[in-house]
Chain A
Amino acid sequence: MMSTEPSAAGRWNGRTVILPVVLLLIVTLCANAGNILPHWLVVWPREAMLPLSTAIGNGLDRLARWHVFAGITVKDMTRALAGLIAWPANLLEEILVDGVSRGTGAAKAEVAPPLSWLGVSLATVWFGWRRGGVALAGLALLTALYLLGLGLWQSAMQTLALLGVAVPFGLALGFGAGVILWRQKRVQAPALLILDQLQTIPIFAYLVPLVGFFGLGSATAILATVIFTVPIMARTTVSGLTRAETAFGEVSDSMGCRFGQRLFLILVPAARQELLTGVNQVIMLSFSCTVLASLVGTAGLGYNILIALRQLNIGRGLEAGLGVTILAILLDRFCATRSVTRACGAGWLDLGIASLLLLVPTLIGFHETALTHFPDSWRLSSGSVVDNAVEWVNVNLFWLTDDIKAWLLIHVLMPLRDEMQTLSWSGVVLFLAFLGYCARGWRGMLLVAALATFPAAVGVWKPTMMTVYLCLISVAIATLIGLPVGIVAGKYPRWGRLILTTCDLLQTLPAFVYLIPVIMFFGSGDFSAFVAVVVFAMCPVIRFTALGIREVPLSLQEAGRQLGMTEGQMLRKVELPMAHSHILLGVNFAVNMALAMLVVTALIGTRDLGRETVNALSHVDPGQGLTAGLAVASLSLIANQIIGGFAGRQPQ
Chain B
Amino acid sequence: MSSRIWGGRLLKAALVACLPITTSIAMAAVESNDPIAIAQHDWAGSEFSALLLSRLLQTAGYNTKIITIDASSVNTALENGDITFQPEAWTTSHPEIEKLLTEKKVTEVGESGLVGMDRYWYPLYVKEKCPGLPSYKALNACAALFATPETGSKGRLLVYPEDWGGNDEKRVENLGLNFEVVHAGSEAALLAEVKAAVQRHQPILTWLYEPHWAPVAFKGEYVKLPPYTKECIESGSYACEKPKGPILKLAYNGANAKWPGAYKIFKAMTLNNHEYGQALEEISLDGKTSDSVVTEWMDHNKDRWSAWLK
- A residues in contact (CB < 8 Å) with B: 93, 97-99, 104-106, 108, 154-155, 158, 207-208, 211-212, 215-217, 294-299, 303, 306-307, 309-312, 369, 373, 391, 394-395, 398, 405-406, 409-410, 414, 515-516, 519-521, 523-527, 601-607, 611, 614-615, 617-620
Contacts and interface: CB of A to CB of B under 8 A. Distances in A.
A611 B189 CA distance: 14
B200 A398 contact: yes
B68 interface: yes
Most buried by B among A208, A215, A406: A215
B272 interface: no
Contacts of B75: 620
Contacts of B76: 208, 211-212, 620
B77 A106 contact: no
Contact of A297 (B62, B64, B68, B196): B68
B97 to A, nearest CB: 11
B185 interface: yes
Interface stretch (B1-9, B109-117, B130-138, B242-250): B1-9
B63 interface: yes
B158 A97 contact: no
B142 interface: no
B193 A394 contact: no
A233 B192 CA distance: 38
Given A216-B77, A312-B188, A525-B182, A158 B4 contact: yes
B58 A105 contact: yes
A520 B184 CA distance: 12
Given A215-B80, A217-B67, A527-B150, 18 more contacts: A105-B58, A105-B63, A212-B76, A295-B69, A297-B69, A312-B191, A312-B192, A391-B199, A398-B200, A409-B149, A410-B149, A516-B192, A524-B184, A603-B185, A614-B163, A615-B162, A617-B72, A618-B163
A303 B68 contact: yes
Interface in B63-84: 63-64, 67-73, 75-77, 80, 82-83
Contacts of B149: 405-406, 409-410, 414
A611 B149 CA distance: 22
B68 A299 contact: yes
Interface in B225-257: none
Nearest to B42: A310
B96 A620 contact: yes
Contacts of B42: 303, 306-307, 310
A523 to B, nearest CB: 5
A447 to B, nearest CB: 33
B73 A295 contact: yes
A394 B284 CA distance: 22
B26 interface: yes
Given A299-B68, A524-B189, A104 B150 contact: no
B26 A394 contact: no
A525 B199 CA distance: 19
Contacts of A614: 72, 161, 163, 185
A80 B162 CA distance: 36
B195 interface: yes
B50 interface: no
B69 A216 contact: yes
Q: Closest 5 interchain pairs by CB? A: A605-B185, A104-B63, A520-B196, A216-B82, A105-B63
B208 interface: no
B293 interface: no
B69 A296 contact: yes
A160 to B, nearest CB: 14
B297 interface: no
Contacts of A310: 42-43, 187-188
A126 B175 CA distance: 69
Interface in B52-106: 58-59, 61-64, 67-73, 75-77, 80, 82-83, 94, 96
Given A216-B77, A406-B149, A524 B72 contact: no
B77 A297 contact: yes
